[in-house]
Amino acid sequence: MSPQALAQGIVDGQAMAQRRAMAKAITLLESTRADHRAQADELLTALLPHTGRALRLGISGVPGVGKSTFIEALGLYLIGQGHRVAVLAVDPSSSVSGGSILGDKTRMERLSVHERAYIRPSPSSGTLGGVAEKTREAMLVCEAAGYDVVIVETVGVGQSETAVHGMTDMFCLLQLPNAGDDLQAIKKGVMELADLVVINKADLDPDAATRAQAQITSSLRLLGLHGHPEHMHHDERIWHPQVIRISALRGQGVADFWAQVQTFSRLQQDSGRWQHKRQQQARAWMWERIDAGLREAFRQHAAVRQKLPALSDAVLQGRQVPSAAARELLAVFLRAQEQAC
Amino acid sequence: MSPQALAQGIVDGQAMAQRRAMAKAITLLESTRADHRAQADELLTALLPHTGRALRLGISGVPGVGKSTFIEALGLYLIGQGHRVAVLAVDPSSSVSGGSILGDKTRMERLSVHERAYIRPSPSSGTLGGVAEKTREAMLVCEAAGYDVVIVETVGVGQSETAVHGMTDMFCLLQLPNAGDDLQAIKKGVMELADLVVINKADLDPDAATRAQAQITSSLRLLGLHGHPEHMHHDERIWHPQVIRISALRGQGVADFWAQVQTFSRLQQDSGRWQHKRQQQARAWMWERIDAGLREAFRQHAAVRQKLPALSDAVLQGRQVPSAAARELLAVFLRAQEQAC
């Protein structure tokens, strides 16, 4: 099937036909073959005019916090409100573990079989940058297919959160009602990314949940007050990160959560921050792929491959200055271009 | 003067002759002219066998914490013990501010005029990566000249700390006896880098200093306990970060500080961590310079410069997929090489 026909199947297809086109498209995007990559770029270009209208929601939290239960409850609630919901994941460890998040669809039993939901596990190969790129591209496929809420799930180790923050409009952090956990989230820089902190399992120990809410609220205030302007992810005049308590298992608090998301979305859109953030994300995505591509080309370059092992050893053994070794390798890599120019 | 003669002046020169050779060498290293750069690489290669024997100490802390007073007290103490002390700085903001750290040598009045001390302000141009590279190279000059303690100062904004941590054997964080400050240091990821936390100005409010010491000790324990192994900068079996109280102004606690440094240094050397860390630093330095060089060459490339503005606009305006734009630009950049291969 041509990329154009595939794009049409995604945009105009109905029910199972659309679902098959989406699966085919995402498989094409994940292929590493050069001819597939060229087709994938054609496909993405054809889809692009039909993308960008979904709300992109990042959801993070350590294992055991109840992400799947929460996402299932949220997804079913949103479908009840007339939305179509896609759930994607970024989990760079899934190639090792065999897929720790969303690998087992039975964890979202009811959502995964719903015709208005589309669930896709994390791409299972490559670096974080590569996994994130495939998820970003899959997000465009879902948007072109008319899914108007895209949830991107990740698991709390810091770097993958930054990647998911970089591809979503709003980033939500799930926490347990356990006062010690917030220090970990602060340390990893995850707390700082959060537009909304959700204390799940609040029914288990309501007092602990209330204490955790107060403590996280106070930490967020300190992070906001003392933050260096360059490093700020929020504009405090528009939105101050909120902390809410829910119980996903009992379905309590999901409507409250969605109300917060809508308030955030409205304030951001009215202030122009929404569009500005998406532009910054697009620019950063392009440069991240350029950097990754440059390094890949460098490592594959014949003359670099010939010189690198000996120079690298010399650097490790203190026989060569690292910056001089870098300049020597760069000269080898760039020589071909200078000659051509 | 040839790079070889300059190297000899640094290694064998005495007093003012050596000092002049060092200043000339560092000026050469900081030059951006291509012929200077080639000479600088020759110089560094000639110096390399005479480097690596100093203790490299990173010292960080927010403005007002008393870094200069502490470094002067420490430097004079070390000279009294027979050492020769070099003080360098990494301050990427100095091109804007005109040199906020070490720019004004009068802040270390007694140390700066001592014949056994060498003080050099931060290179004042370029990116953090460029500034850090020049400081690393200046460090090699100081080591070749026989300075056996090299102190690299930086000011607390997070990224420059990571750079200084990446070029030193031990990283020390100065804090005020103010309980709220540790949250900031944790947030910026600076606390996590610290091998030793020093509470300065402990004489002003001894009770507050004791409370801060207890609180930071407890934070460090939590960071250590919960840390993800990949992100750990310490091996807890060998060294657990310590917290000490000093008063640099009164000269109290400097000997205690140095005893901690020596204990750390001995434990690290005995366990092989010292050498391992230096090797990792050398490798990371080489790759950081390669990445920076690749991006620079990419941005300067004639065909890329011609295509970039329009593609970049298309990405920002949502008319082009960022990953596809990246692949298009990379193809343009790499075409010359493929043809030459």
Identify whether residues A35 and A105 lie together within a single domain.
no
* Both tokens assigned to A167: 């591809």
CA-based nearest residue to B84, from B164, B136, B142, B140: B142
Chain segment A286-312, per-residue pLDDT in tens: 999 999 999 999 999 999 999 999 999
Identify whether residues A239 and A121 lie together within a single domain.
yes
First to last CA, chain A: 39
Distance CA B139, CA B145 (A): 10
| Residue A146 or residue B180, greater confidence | A146
Identify whether residues B26 and B122 lie together within a single domain.
no
Is the CA virtual torsion B109, B110, B116, B117 positive or negative?
A: negative
Distance from CA of B254 to the nearest CA of A (A): 30
- What local confidence, expressed as pLDDT, does residue B222 receive? 72
Classify residue A250: in a domain, yes or no: yes
Distance CA A134, CA A319 (A): 41
Classify residue A72: in a domain, yes or no: yes
Identify whether residues B80 and B164 lie together within a single domain.
yes
Q: A interface mutation test: which of B232, B290, B332 has the most A CBs within 10 A?
A: B290
Distance CA A327, CA B42 (A): 12
Q: Which residues in A lie closer than 8 A to residue B31 (C-beta atoms)?
A: none
Chain segment B86-130, per-residue pLDDT in tens: 999 998 775 444 444 555 545 788 898 999 999 998 887 678 888
Torsion angle defined by CA atoms of residues B302, B303, B305 and B307, in that order, rounded to the nearest 10 degrees: 170
Distance CA B160, CA B129 (A): 9
- What local confidence, expressed as pLDDT, does residue A325 receive? 95
Classify residue A55: in a domain, yes or no: yes
Query: Residue B63 — φ and ψ, nearest 5°?
Result: -55, 140
State the CATH number of the domain containing residue B46.
Answer: 1.20.5.170
Confidence category of residue A107, pLDDT binned at 50, 70, 90 = confident
Put simply, whether A106 touches B (Cβ < 8 Å) is no
Test B340 with A340 for CB contact under 8 angstroms. yes
| Residue A335 or residue A170, greater confidence | A170
Rg for chain A, CA atoms, rounded: 22
Query: Residue B329 — φ and ψ, nearest 5°?
Result: -65, -40
Identify whether residues A65 and A133 lie together within a single domain.
yes
Distance CA B110, CA B220 (A): 35
Identify whether residues B60 and B109 lie together within a single domain.
yes
Classify residue A64: in a domain, yes or no: yes
Show the DSSP H helices in B151-226 as ranges. 159-165, 181-187, 206-226
pTM: 0.81
Identify whether residues A198 and A250 lie together within a single domain.
yes
* Both tokens assigned to A252: 């309590």
Q: Is the pLDDT of residue B308 over 70?
A: yes
Put simply, whether B334 touches A (Cβ < 8 Å) is yes
- What local confidence, expressed as pLDDT, does residue B323 receive? 92
- Mean pLDDT of chain A, nearest integer: 87
Q: What is the mean pLDDT of residues A100-108?
A: 58
Give me the residues paired with residue B57 across strands.
B151, B170
Which of B157, B295, B339 minimises the CB distance to A291?
B295
| Residue B59 or residue B122, greater confidence | B59
Identify whether residues B38 and B65 lie together within a single domain.
no
Test B282 with A322 for CB contact under 8 angstroms. yes
The CA–CA distances, whole Å, from A207 to A179, A212, A241, A306, A318 equal 11, 9, 22, 64, 58
Put simply, whether B326 touches A (Cβ < 8 Å) is yes
As a whole-number percent, the residues of chain B with pLDDT over 70 amount to 88
Test A294 with B294 for CB contact under 8 angstroms. yes
Query: Residue B243 — φ and ψ, nearest 5°?
Result: -125, 120
CB B150, CB B142: distance < 8 Å? yes
State the CATH number of the domain containing residue B182.
Answer: 3.40.50.300
Identify whether residues B318 and B214 lie together within a single domain.
no
Which of A183, A223, A330 minimises the CB distance to B293?
A330
- Mean pLDDT of chain B, nearest integer: 87
Test B186 with A184 for CB contact under 8 angstroms. no
Distance CA A62, CA A67 (A): 8
Lowest mean pLDDT among A37-51, A266-280, A289-303, B222-236: B222-236
Identify whether residues A259 and A180 lie together within a single domain.
yes
Which of B297, B320, B324 minimises the CB distance to A334?
B297
Classify residue A289: in a domain, yes or no: no
* Both tokens assigned to A75: 């997804």
CB B61, CB B154: distance < 8 Å? no
Rg for chain B, CA atoms, rounded: 22
Put simply, whether A221 touches B (Cβ < 8 Å) is no
Test B321 with A45 for CB contact under 8 angstroms. yes
The CA–CA distances, whole Å, from B199 to B169, B174, B193, B202 equal 20, 6, 16, 6
Test B326 with A297 for CB contact under 8 angstroms. no
Identify whether residues A179 and A232 lie together within a single domain.
yes
As a whole-number percent, the residues of chain A with pLDDT over 70 amount to 88
Classify residue A278: in a domain, yes or no: no
Q: Which residues in A lie closer than 8 A to residue B180 (C-beta atoms)?
A: 222
Identify whether residues A147 and A173 lie together within a single domain.
yes
Number of separate domains in chain A: 3
Residue of A nearest to B224 (CA): A184
Which of B189, B323, B330 minimises the CB distance to A189?
B189
The CA–CA distances, whole Å, from A251 to A70, A254, A282, A327, B337 equal 8, 6, 35, 59, 58
The CA–CA distances, whole Å, from B181 to A191, A226, B173, B188, B216 equal 17, 9, 12, 11, 10
Domain that holds residue A312: 301-340
Classify residue B176: in a domain, yes or no: yes
Within 10 angstroms of residue A243's Cβ, the number of other Cβ atoms is: 21
Classify residue A200: in a domain, yes or no: yes
Q: Is the pLDDT of residue A230 over 50?
A: no
User: Residue A253: left if φ>0, alpha if ψ -120 to 50, beta else—which one?
Assistant: left
Q: Which residues in A lie closer than 8 A to residue B294 (C-beta atoms)?
A: 291, 294-295, 298, 330, 333
